[in-house]
Amino acid sequence: MCPRRANRAVPLGRSTSLDRQFEVFGRDQVERPLSHIGSIVAPNQELAVARARILYSERQWVELCVAPAESFMHCLQGGRSGTVGLA
């Protein structure tokens, strides 16, 4: 029987109120663009990277990136219409 450990660490598979949302981007071939492949929640960036590697391991990725969702700026927010880009 294993001794009980103090509950100081955040378990790998459970979400807590400290979790933040992270966006995951991947590229499966060098010549392809980086694409948004999903979102995950984690308490910190290191665990977000670990969760992304596990969750999206069904494919062979050339590149896999994780970024905090709050680091993105809105170009066009909900409730607004318009065109973004250069003519």
For the stretch 31-75, pLDDT in tens is: 999 999 999 999 999 999 999 999 999 889 999 999 999 998 877
CATH 1.20.120 given to domain 20-71: no
Residue 31: the pLDDT is: 95
If pLDDT is split at 50, 70 and 90, which confidence band does 4 have? Answer: very low
Average confidence (pLDDT) over 18-33: 94
Domain segments of the chain as ranges: 20-71
* Whole-prediction pTM: 0.69
Residue 28: the pLDDT is: 94
C-alpha distances out from residue 82 to 75, 79, 86, 87, Å: 10, 10, 12, 13
Q: Do 51 and 42 touch, CB atoms closer than 8 A?
A: yes
